Amino acid sequence: MSANPATHSPATATIDIGDAAPPFVLPDHAGKPTALYGDAVAGHAVVVVFCNRAEGSELTALLTALHAGFHTTGQNAPRVFVVLPTAISDLVANQAKLGLSFSLLADPQRQAARAYGLKLDGASSVIVIDHNLRIASIGAVTDPAAAVATARDCVMRLAAMRSEVSVRTHAPVLVLPRVLSREECARLIEVWHRPVKLWHSDGFRSTGYQHETGDFKIRIDTYGKTDQFVIREPALFDHLDERVMGRVIPQISKAFQQDVGYREDLRIACYDASEGGSLPAHRDNPTAMTRHRVFTVSIQLNAGEYEGGGLRFPEYGAQTYDVEPGTAIVWSCALLHEVDAVTRGRRFILGTHFFNDLAAMQASQRLASSS
C-alpha cells in the first residue's frame, strides 16, 4: 500500500451530475433572501430553472409548464426556484399574473448562473438537485413541457430511492449515489481486465507495492477471495482523484466532522462467483500495519449484474445495501463488515482507505516491508 494526498479540486465554473450544487442566496419577488443551502431547502429535492430571458412567450410557457408539473405542496414536495436575469421589481408581475406556486428569484448580474457554468445565451437550463444538495440532472430547455417532464421523472426517481420504513438498527455509514457515472463504472471494469502482473497478499501486505511502479494486481490468499487491481496509470489516477475524492471528502467532513488528508492506492476489486468470491467479517485497521486507517470507501460498479455479494455490518444488523452503480458507501475502518459470497457473475467495486497520519502510514509500510 502507498500514500497519496486525498485532495480534491476546488469548485470550478462547470458542474456535472454527482457534484455538490454551488450555493447561492438570491432575493425572491418580495425581496426575501432564499438560500439554497438553508435548512428549509436541504432535505428536499430541488428543481432550479435558470432562465436566459426575463420576459416573452417562451418564459411564460416555461413558467406555466412548471406550475402545472410542480403544483403540489407539503412536507415532501420538491422545492422549485426559477432564477431570472432581472431585478426584484420585475418579478412581481409574473408572480401575480400566473399565480405561481413556486418562487421567482432575481439574479440580474447572472452570478448564480455563472457559478453553475451555464451559458448565458441560448436555451435556459433545468437542474435537479437531490436531498443532499448534489446534482442529479442537468438539461437544456428546448421544449418547456418536455423539460419539466424530464425533471419530474428525476424527482420521482430520487423519491423512490428514499425508504420511508422505520429503522430499528443501522450501521453509521454514509451512502452517496452518483459518485461515478455508469459509463465510468463500465470503464473501470474494463481496466480490471487488463493483463498485468499478479502479486499475492495476506490482506495487509504485498511486495508488489515495493516492486511495481505501474498497474498490477493483488490476490488475497489468507481470507476471502478477491483479485484487486491497483491503479497507477497517471491519467486514470488523476481523473478518479478529481471525480471520486472531490465528491466523497466533503461529505465525510459534513457527516463525520472529520477531514482526511491522505488515501491509499485506489483498487478495483473483483469477487467471482466461480470461486465464491467473498470477504469474511473483519475490520480494516486491526493491526500495526493498518492502524493508521480512518475511513473505508467502496464504490459499487456493477450492481444488478450478479447475485449474492451483499455488504453487511453484523454489529448493527443483518441488512445489506441495495445501491445503484456509481454509489459510494463510506464507513469507519473500525466497523466490523463482511461481503457475502457471490453466487452468480462477478461483483466489482472501486475502493480505498483514507487516513490522516502520514508518519503512521510510513511506519506501517516499513513494518510491512520488514515482515
Q: Which DSSP string do the residues of 241-284 spell out, in sequence order?
A: IIIIIHHHHHHHHHHHS----EE---EEEEEEGGGT--EEEE-S
Tell me, yes or no, whether 10 lies in a domain.
no
pLDDT at site 9 = 45
Choose one of 160, 186, 210: the last residue of a domain. 160
CATH number, domain with residue 142: 3.40.30.10
pLDDT at site 4 = 75
Tell me, yes or no, whether 74 lies in a domain.
yes
Q: Report residues of the chain scoring pLDDT below 50.
A: 9-13
Q: What DSSP assignment string belongs to 197-217?
A: -EEEE-SS--THHHH-SS-EE
pLDDT at site 360 = 67
Whether residue 236 sits in one domain with residue 118: no
Whether residue 113 sits in one domain with residue 53: yes
Tell me, yes or no, whether 359 lies in a domain.
yes
Angle between helices 144-160 and 57-69 (to 10 degrees): 30
Whether residue 242 sits in one domain with residue 102: no
Whether residue 149 sits in one domain with residue 189: no
Whether residue 220 sits in one domain with residue 154: no
Tell me, yes or no, whether 154 lies in a domain.
yes
Tell me, yes or no, whether 12 lies in a domain.
no
Pairing of strands 4-5, 216-220: unpaired
Tell me, yes or no, whether 73 lies in a domain.
yes
Structural domain that includes position 185: 170-370
- 330, 328, 338, 325: which is closest to 354 by C-alpha? 330
Tell me, yes or no, whether 15 lies in a domain.
no
Tell me, yes or no, whether 320 lies in a domain.
yes
Whether residue 105 sits in one domain with residue 184: no
Whether residue 188 sits in one domain with residue 124: no
Whether residue 234 sits in one domain with residue 154: no
Whether residue 239 sits in one domain with residue 273: yes
Each residue's pLDDT tens digit, 107-151: 999 999 999 998 888 789 999 999 999 999 999 999 999 999 999
- Whole-prediction pTM value? 0.88
Integer Cα distance of 84 and 102 in angstroms: 13
Number of structural domains found in the chain: 2
Whether residue 192 sits in one domain with residue 329: yes
Choose one of 130, 160, 190: the last residue of a domain. 160
pLDDT at site 1 = 57
What would the grid cell of residue 146 be? Answer: 418536455
CATH number, domain with residue 358: 2.60.120.620
Choose one of 141, 160, 179: the last residue of a domain. 160
Integer Cα distance of 104 and 81 in angstroms: 6
